[in-house]
Amino acid sequence: MDSDLLTAEQAGQLLHLHVKRVQGLARSGRLPASRIGRKWLFRRADIERALGGGRALSAPAPAGLEALSARNHLRGRITGITLDGLMAEVRMEIEGQELTAIITRGSVERLRLRVGDTAFAVIKATEVMVASEGVY
């Protein structure tokens, strides 16, 4: 491999970051890199510039729903909130359908959710399971 090119592991060692963090910075465009197949490659000069403070490697402030990787967000109205210890059940009405989400009580408080508020349900599911009673 060209000595001016570094793997994600080598870049991580130089930057004192976990390889997954380096890959995430590359994926988001905050650290210049090229992807060849499944491997990320970094120019040594870019890594050295990052070490010298030429580029900020910290995550930018969130910019709203467009900053999420999930593209399935549904706007609805909160119809009920039930708090129970550390958890909360939030019920929403979205185009005549009810959606229930279980989230932390801290999230309800931090987002200042109230019955009647408009909110978004952000859905990112990799699988849905369905079972019928008596069939295991």
Q: What is the pLDDT of residues 19-41, one digit of tens each?
A: 999 999 998 888 899 988 889 99
Measured CA to CA, the distance from residue 74 to residue 86 in angstroms comes to 25
pTM confidence score: 0.47
Residues contacting 11, CB < 8 A, separation 6+: 17, 22, 31, 33, 40, 42, 47
For residue 116, is pLDDT > 90? yes
Residue with tokens 């490697």: 57
Per-residue pLDDT, averaged over 3-13, amounts to 88
Do residues 76 and 93 make contact, with C-beta atoms less than 8 angstroms apart? Answer: yes
Rg (CA), the chain: 22
pLDDT tens digits along 61-103: 445 665 566 567 788 999 999 999 999 999 999 989 999 999 9
Coil, strand or helix: which one is 7? strand
Nearest to 88 by CA among 114, 62, 65, 70: 114
Note whether 98 and 91 are within 8 A (CB).
Answer: yes
- pLDDT > 90: what percent of the chain? 37
